[in-house]
Chains A and B, each alone.
Chain A
């Protein structure tokens, strides 16, 4: 196999290790400390914020507007409205604002 192939397989093994590893470490403990529990409960808010942060930081006005609309629609729940609303505002905004 090519060098690229081997690197890809190593990357795949590494990725699986991260996905299995957290559980393998945590399952060695018989009970979960409340602080660990609180930390785990914060994971969605923490991670999804960091995934949005660079895009929000470097957003053009049209993109910023789309993110705000998506967030407001997200208050009501349901991913389809978020998508449709955010996407339409983005397309219109880029067309009008450049």
Chain B
């Protein structure tokens, strides 16, 4: 409903009040802007391939790493600087505090490379040679080796893709066929062949290693199969860095997490969040709208209806974890347990629906947001002018026809308002999900090519929980912190996109007929 704003003379005479009011608005905006700016810079900055410094200390130590921040020393004068030096497998730690006064020289050699690896985090150092595991020995010039490394990594990427494709499109369907009919000789044959092909691919990938060298000369044999990306931050132009940055952001969005959620992407969490919210909207809208119609149009407007209405409004204030407990008790153990007994008896004792999952999480959140939808829809229904109802009735429409053909279409924007509010609340909710279905790691998204395509019983990942998990449960929380910011930014964006979609829908329904001009 648009509120007509008449031009009023602003309050000027009561100086302090106007200032106080304006000040609080400014402060709110400032805090909001600051929050967004913080998570945006910290989160997005993580993907920028920063320069790597080679640092020589007064005691002769050589280190290479990215300077992260500087603090004054506690005991003496001077400052100390934190370097991210990676190489967790060589040094046992990836961070070094160095007193700034003891740094003799700091330079940025062009040949320093950074490798992103599947295990042990990043590597910072130099590339010595490439080859197979048995005969790693000094080869051609370094520049050539860098280019060959790039080429080999690209080939490996292709092989990896090929292996994934085989697993997904050939192996899994065959295994399902064999599960259904263990005597299927043809499938058994095909499975053996496919397994052989995967093995050949594995061999081809496993063979190659790189000989790497730390800045202080310690060497390391790194299987190339475990290297995901390589770059030389000191030898790159800004455009190249932007490319690396873009690819980094894209991989963050499109890939699954690695290393106990401390690295890699968040695609399953994005997918899980959006899917869960959409399912929740699908569940809550019909229930909420029907309940509102009953309360507003059907029920006798007496004391009981009034009490029900108050109860519904109060339900909106119940802490969300309480809904989580309810979902766990009723949906997961109660309904889910019974479903398992009746339909999935052969899988017991491992539960199918008797454990947290997508369906139960969506249902719990639908319950949580039900009051919001009911209240918004009721207000929408109450706002529809009585003339519209009388107009329909006077044409011989029954009360049901009046409701379905005139009142409900006019109340659609109000219903969408309810759904918008529900989405805004549900997308950021984590506490109840802990109890009813969110998982630390569920790389398999709940939608795939396997019948029935949407797997409601599966556990799923959620951006909100991912933030919590990354921030508190990793091996190297310090290194994972930027990912926390990036994920937080993403969560804000996801909620924004979901909300905007609903707002555009509402706008479309409102604008279809415009505002009725009053003569």
Q: Do A and B come from one complex?
A: no
